[in-house]
Amino acid sequence: MKRIIVSLIISLLVLSFNLAQKPEKYIPKTTRKQEKCATAEPGTYLKPLALTLLNKMNQLMDDSAALKKSYKRIGRLPSSPQKKVVDTVICFNDLEVPIRIYYPKRVSLQGNQPLTLYFHGGGFLFGSVESYHVMVSKLARICGQVLLYPGVTFMDIPYPSMTYFLRDPVRQYVLSEDFLRRVRTEYMGSEADYSHPYISPLEATLSKDLAPALIIAAECDPLRDGGRLYAEKLRAAGVDVSYLEYSGMIHAFMSFHMILSDAMDAMKEVRDFLWRN
C-alpha cells in the first residue's frame, strides 16, 4: 500500500512539473512592492525578476560594448541536449538563408515528423541563429511544431500598450519607438501601403478556414494590444483561437526561460496547444 501511495505522489509531482501554469493577473501584495514594480499603465506591475532583468537590459542598452559582450555570453550558455543539430541554408533565386535544424529526440530523426518553424526576433535587423540558440533548443525539447510571428501590424495605431510601454520616460520596455520605425522603414523599402495584409495581418480580411491559433503576449509589452486585437479579430471570424497574456512579463520574455518561470510555462502552453491540434 505504501509503495502505491509513494508511486502516486511521484506521478503527481512529475505531472505538475510538466503541466503549464495558466497566467494570472499579477498584483504585488505589499504597497512597497506595488510602488517598486509599478508601470506607467495604472494597475499593471512588473514581476520582480522581470523588473530586475529589464533594469539590467536598460543599463546594457546605454553601453554598446557591454551589450555586444552580453550577446556573446548568451551564445555560450549551455543549451538543451539534442539528438542532432544541422546547420544549412535554404536557397531562393540568388539568396541564401541560413537555418539550423534541431532533432531533439530519437524519433525526430525518422521521416514524416512534425516540424517546428521559428522566426527569431530582432525586427529583421538584429539577432542570429547563435543568439537564439539557447531559447530555440529549449523550445525544441519541449514542443514539436510551432510558427512564431513577431508582429501583426505596421500601422501607426495609438494602442494603450504603445502609449504606456513605448513612450515611458522612466524606463524602456525592450523596444523603442525609434527602433520600431527603423524596422518598418528597412522592411517596407519603397512599399508605402502599411495596411497591406501581407505586411500587417491585423488589417487583413480573415476567414474561418484559417488554422487554429495560439497567441501569447506579455502584459508589459508595447506590442501587447496588437496581439489582443488580432485574437479578437480571429475569434470574430470564427477561427479557433487561444489568447494567453502573461502578467508582469516583458517583450521577448520567452528568451529568458533560465530565470523566468513564466517563460517555461509559455513554452509548455505551446506544446500542449500543438498536441491538441
Per-residue pLDDT of the chain (277 residues; tens, 9 = 90+): 444 333 433 333 333 445 567 789 999 999 999 999 999 999 999 999 999 999 998 888 777 777 677 766 766 778 888 888 888 888 888 888 888 888 888 888 887 778 778 888 787 777 778 888 888 888 888 875 433 333 446 667 788 999 999 989 889 999 999 988 888 888 887 777 888 888 888 888 999 999 999 999 999 999 999 999 999 999 999 999 999 999 999 999 999 999 999 999 999 999 899 888 7
Cell numbers for 30, please give them.
Answer: 505589499
Model confidence pLDDT, tens digit, residues 173-218: 999 999 888 888 888 877 778 888 888 888 889 999 999 999 999 9
Give the per-residue pLDDT at 192. Answer: 73
Give the per-residue pLDDT at 75. Answer: 65
State whether residue 125 is helix, strand or coil: coil
Report how far residue 197's alpha carbon sits from residue 153's, in angstroms, rounded to the nearest whole number: 9
Give the per-residue pLDDT at 117. Answer: 81
Q: Tell the CATH topology of 24-276.
A: Rossmann fold (3.40.50)
pTM over 0.75: yes
Give the per-residue pLDDT at 146. Answer: 34
Angstrom distances, CA of residue 200 to CA of 51, 68, 119, 151, 184: 30, 31, 16, 8, 11
Contacts of 54 (CB under 8 A, 6+ apart): 46, 171, 173, 174, 250
List own/partner pairs for 83-87 with CB under 8 A and 24 or more apart. Answer: 83/108, 83/109, 84/109, 85/137, 87/129
Give the per-residue pLDDT at 190. Answer: 74
User: How far apart are the two ends of the chain, measured CA to CA in Å?
Assistant: 39
**Where exactly are the structural domains of the chain?**
24-276
Residue 84, beta-bridge partner list? 103
CB-CB contact of 233 with 207 (8 Å): no
Kindly report the number of other CB atoms within 10 A of residue 36's CB atom.
13
Q: If you write DSSP's letter for every residue of 257-269 in order, what string do you get?
A: TTT-HHHHHHHHH
* Percent helix, strand and coil across the chain, each to the nearest 5: 45, 15, 40
Report how far residue 73's alpha carbon sits from residue 134's, in angstroms, rounded to the nearest whole number: 11
Contacts of 85 (CB under 8 A, 6+ apart): 100, 101, 102, 103, 137
Give the per-residue pLDDT at 149. Answer: 30
Give the per-residue pLDDT at 269. Answer: 93
